[in-house]
A and B are shown apart, each in its own frame.
Chain A
C-alpha cells in the first residue's frame, strides 16, 4: 500500500451514471488486477474504495470506473481535470492468474465489470483465450463492450430486460460456454448465482462497506472456510473453495 497525490487527467461519463476517471501519480503499489484504491474527497470523512480498471505503466496512470450512487460519487463526477486527489493505492489481494487454465471465463455485473478489464488484459498477455460475459440491467447501462473486444477477448453482453445482447443474467450466458476456470465480480446475488452455476473453480471479488480499506478497523470482515477474512486485506478476491454459501 502507498499513499500518494494523483492528478485527474480525464473524468467523463460512459453512461448516464457510470464515469471513467484517469489519474496520474505513483502507481507502483498496484501489482495485481482486482486491487482497489481508496480515495479521499474534500468534505467526506471516509475514503471511497474503487477498483482499478486499467493501468498504464508508460503514462503512470490508472483508470477507475465508478457509478454515481451517493453524495461522494456525485462530488467525484463534478471534479475537473487538473484537480488532485489523495489516494491509497495497491489495496487488497487482487485476482490470482495462476489457476486460469487456457480458456478462462470472466463474468462481470454492472460496476463489477471494471476490475475484469485489467484482468482480461493480463490473461491475454499471458496467451490465454479469454471470454468475457458482461451483464447489465438494460441497453443504456452497457459499457466497455468494445474495450474488451479491442483487447482480443470474446465478448457476450447480457441485459436483464432483454433490450440488448442475450436476454437474462450472466449465468444464462454461462450455461452454454465451456471454460477452464472463471473470475467474477458483481452484486452479491449475481456472485451467488455464479457460485452455484459454475462447473469449474474460480475467484470472486466482493464488495463491503469499509472503514479504512487497509486492514486496521475490522469493518469489512467475513467468515470463510479458512477462517475470518477482511474483504479489504485478505480480499476482495476469494477463491470458490473458501466461500461458505449454501443453497
Chain B
C-alpha cells in the first residue's frame, strides 16, 4: 500500500498534492467537478488588504508548453474573503487550507495575516513576496534578502500558524533569500512563482498582454523550478514546497527527490480542471513503478553522481 502522507510544518497532509494559488480560486469552482477533499490541501487565491481588480485585459498569452498571465492579484480583499469566500470554502473543503497573502508594504502583509489568523480553517500562511505582475509591490519584497526577511518577521509577529514564504525565481541568488527568510523565522519556503516573460503579436506589434510582461508558467518551467527547489532544499533546514510546471505524478516524485516536502500544481489545473485528481489517482502506480513505499521517505532522496 503506497503511503502518501507527508508532514508539512507540523500538519499532516493525506498526500503532498496542493493546487497552487491563483489556479484554484477559493476552491468551490473545482468542488463542483470533484471532491476536493482528495487533495492534501490547496492554496487559495492571493489575498490582499484591499479589494483589487488587477491589470487590464488581455491578461493571458499562450506559449509553447506554457502560458503567461498578468492577472495582477485580482481578489475581493481580506474582509470579503473572511465574510464570503471562507464560509463558501468551508462547505466544500473540510481540511486545513493554505492562505496565500500578498501586499504592497510590510504593514499590508502583517495586517492581512493578522485578520486571517483567527480563521480556524487556515492551516498555513503562504506569503507571496514574488508576484511579478504588480508594480511597487509583490516581487520587490522577494528580490532582496533584507526585504524578504522583513516581511517574514512582520508576519511571524502576528500569527502562530506556520508561515511559508513563496519566493520568486526572478533573482540572481535565490538561496540567499531563502536563508534570510529562514533566519527571520519562516517555517517553510515555497517556490517557484512564475518567471517573468513576454510575447509580442506580430500582426499588431503589441505585447500580447496589456501589462507588457507577465508570469510564465506551465510544463516548460519545470526544469528551472526543480533546479531551484533543489538548491534551496540543500541550503535550508525548514520544509520546501516545490512548484513550477508540475503536471504529472512523475513530476511530483522528481520534486520530492529534489527536496520538496509537498508539491503545488498550478497551470495544469487551468488546462485540465481534473489535473490534481488525475495526478493523485496515478501516484500509487507511479510510486510502485519506481519502488517508492512512502512519499515522506523520498523527500530530498536524490542520489548525486559524486555519491554513487
Contacts and interface: CB of A to CB of B under 8 A. Distances in A.
Contacts of B60: 46, 209-211, 217, 219-220
Interface string A1-14: 10100000000000
Interface in B19-44: 22-25, 29-30, 32-33
A212 B271 contact: yes
A228 to B, nearest CB: 6
B22 A217 contact: yes
Interface residues of B, number: 35
Given A1-B33, A214-B273, A45 B53 contact: no
Interface in A21-73: 40, 44-47
Contact of A45 (B32, B33, B62, B269): B62
A209 B59 contact: yes
A208 B29 contact: no
B67 A221 contact: no
Contacts of B64: 45
Contacts of A208: 57-58
Interface in A199-241: 208-212, 214-223, 228, 233
Given A45-B65, A45-B218, A46-B67, A221 B74 contact: yes
**What is the predominant secondary structure among interface residues of chain A facing chain B?**
loop
A211 B30 CA distance: 15
B270 A228 contact: no
Interface residues of A, number: 25
Contact of A3 (B25, B74, B267, B274): B274
Interface string B71-96: 10010000000000000000000000
B110 to A, nearest CB: 25
Contacts of A88: 273
A1 B31 CA distance: 12
**What is the predominant secondary structure among interface residues of chain B facing chain A?**
loop
Given A216-B23, A216-B30, A218-B54, A40 B271 contact: yes
Contacts of B59: 209, 211, 218-221
Contacts of B54: 218, 221
Contacts of B5: none
B219 interface: yes
Interface string A89-126: 00000000000000000000000000000000000000
Nearest to A47: B271
A220 to B, nearest CB: 6
A191 B25 CA distance: 30
Contacts of A45: 62-67, 218-219, 267, 271
B25 A216 contact: yes
A219 B29 contact: no
Given A217-B22, A217-B23, A217-B71, A211 B270 contact: yes
B190 interface: no
Nearest to B210: A209
A209 B29 contact: no
B69 interface: yes
Contacts of A210: 60
A99 to B, nearest CB: 27
Nearest to A208: B57
6 contacts: A45-B267, A46-B271, A212-B269, A217-B60, A217-B270, A221-B74
What 7 A-B pairs are tightest by C-beta distance, nearest first? Answer: A212-B270, A209-B58, A219-B60, A218-B74, A211-B60, A46-B62, A218-B71
Given A209-B57, A221-B59, A222-B57, 7 more contacts: A3-B274, A45-B218, A46-B67, A211-B60, A216-B269, A219-B69, A228-B74
